[in-house]
Amino acid sequence: MTQRTLVMIRHAKSSWTNPLQSDFERPLNERGKKEAPEMGKKLKKAHIIPDLIIASSAKRTKQTAKRIAEEVGYDVENIKWEEKLYHCIPSVLEETIYEVSNSVKTVFIVAHNPGITEFVNQLVPEFKIDNMPTCGIVATHVETEEWNNFSIANKKVFLFEQPGNEHN
């Protein structure tokens, strides 16, 4: 059985300085710009390197995905932008996983709340969180030959990380 890795990432902290700005166009604030690369460094240190990054095409998720990609050595030109991930429900996240090529062993998905919290809470019975924090990461080992068997595959959450958590 092939072990695959799914890494769910919520976008970093966004800016609310312009109240007239559309939600879709909201950028990262200074904290978010700092935390996204920090989380990328944590993933790299843990040797969690993506074969594919899929992200919502909203501005803050794009900025988060690019910063993380740069830190883990992933070509930002190869990020797959998906408008359907913008404020989607968990089933859309699952559909996105089903579409991943079986040549991909590790996939990062960068998306939004509340869908991402609901999704990670459905992964395994042993893992529950109240809220996926901004730039939070939940990484799961998935035992499956094909991504389209994701829903029935044996899964184990092995990492829950957020900005400010310092591990040696």
pLDDT in tens, 1-22: 899 999 999 999 999 999 899 9
| 12 domain-assigned | yes
Query: So what's the pLDDT on residue 46?
Result: 96
| 101 domain-assigned | yes
- Is the pLDDT at 113 greater than 80, yes or no? yes
| 168 domain-assigned | no
Helix (H) or strand (E) holding 90: helix 90-98
Mean pLDDT of 151-155: 97
| 7 domain-assigned | yes
| 166 domain-assigned | no
Q: Give φ, ψ of 18 to 5 degrees.
A: -105, 100
| 62 domain-assigned | yes
Query: What percent of the chain has pLDDT above 70?
Result: 98
Query: So what's the pLDDT on residue 138?
Result: 98
Residue 61 belongs to a domain with what CATH number? 3.40.50.1240
Mean pLDDT of 108-113: 98
User: Three-state SS for 140?
Assistant: strand
Query: What percent of the chain has pLDDT above 90?
Result: 95
Q: In sequence order, what are the residues at sequence separation of 6 or more whose Cβ sits closer than 8 angstroms to the Cβ of residue 78?
A: 52, 53
Query: So what's the pLDDT on residue 19?
Result: 86
User: Three-state SS for 152?
Assistant: helix
Query: So what's the pLDDT on residue 168?
Result: 36
DSSP per-residue codes, 10-42 = E---B--S-TTS-GGG--B-HHHHHHHHHHHHH
| 72 domain-assigned | yes
Number of domains in the chain: 1
Q: Which domain holds residue 147?
A: 3-161
